[in-house]
Amino acid sequence: MAEYNTYRTAQGVGQRQAVIDEGLRAYMNKVYGLMAVGMGVTAVAAFGIANAAVSPEGQLTALGAAIYASPLRWVIIFAPLLVVFAFGAAVNRLSIPAATGLFYGFAALMGLSISSIFLVYTSYSIVQTFLVTAIAFAGLSLWGYTTKKDISGWGSFLIMGVIGLIVAAIVNIFLGSPAIQFAISVLGVLIFAGLTAYDTQNIKNTYLEMAAQGADQDFIGKTAIMGALRLYLDFLNLFMFLLQFMGQRD
């Protein structure tokens, strides 16, 4: 009888683990799917706005002058940062469809913010850098997902690094130093490469904790959206810093 009870217990644990593993796969697929669609929205928005901002003769249109050559450009540059903070504060009060729509709206706004890359770099180098970023991101995210090493200790150092990058970038707007810009680009690639692996492991562990605690599906769905936002920002920043190395100026 004791052996039978032990067998039933082991069988129950095994079934529960199988359910958690299946739920984790579905959860990560949702995170990556949301992130991929968001990145697609950003790419389409950036390309469409850049084309509308330049006339066939190569001159800025009224739209181009407004978003690239007026004080409005500073609003466009920093607006996504404000939206990220607002999104994090509001997501728990929104429904899943509303939170998803807000995420895609943010992605479109980010496309507006970075659309000037199509005026600065050749389309070929942008596509090339995007593909390199996608390969690097996939490798880093896969390592973060599969590694047995606990990299949660990286978080505080990486976040401090991001804050340092933001401060340095703002200062260099006024200094215009190529050496500082080069250092920012190198550090940016390294920091967001680390964040890709760190965030992937963190997203995985967050789901496992929620599954163990029996969290409701609504909360899990909103957490997936926040996870997609984090990976989206990791990918986009990695792409932008790599573009400064690989981009060929138009």
pLDDT in tens, 232-245: 999 999 999 999 98
CA-nearest of 74, 47, 71, 49 to 60 is: 49
Residue 82 has pLDDT above 90, yes or no: no
Local structure of 148: helix, strand or coil? coil
**Predicted structure pTM score:** 0.89
Assess whether pLDDT exceeds 50 at residue 87.
yes
Domain boundaries, the chain: 2-246
Enumerate residues 6+ apart whose C-beta is below 8 A from 239.
129, 130, 133
Q: What is the pLDDT of residue 215?
A: 76
Structure token pair of residue 225: 């959206």
Q: Is the pLDDT of residue 58 over 80?
A: no
Half-sphere exposure (Cβ direction) of 52: Cα atoms closer than 13 Å: 12
pLDDT at 105: 93
State how far the Cα of 166 lies from the Cα of 107, in Å rounded to an integer: 20
What pLDDT is recorded for position 36? Answer: 96
Put residue 208 in one of left, alpha, beta given phi > 0 → left and psi -120 to 50 → alpha: alpha
pLDDT attached to residue 1: 52
- The 10s digit of each residue's pLDDT in 126-171 is 999 999 999 999 999 999 999 999 998 898 899 999 999 989 988 9
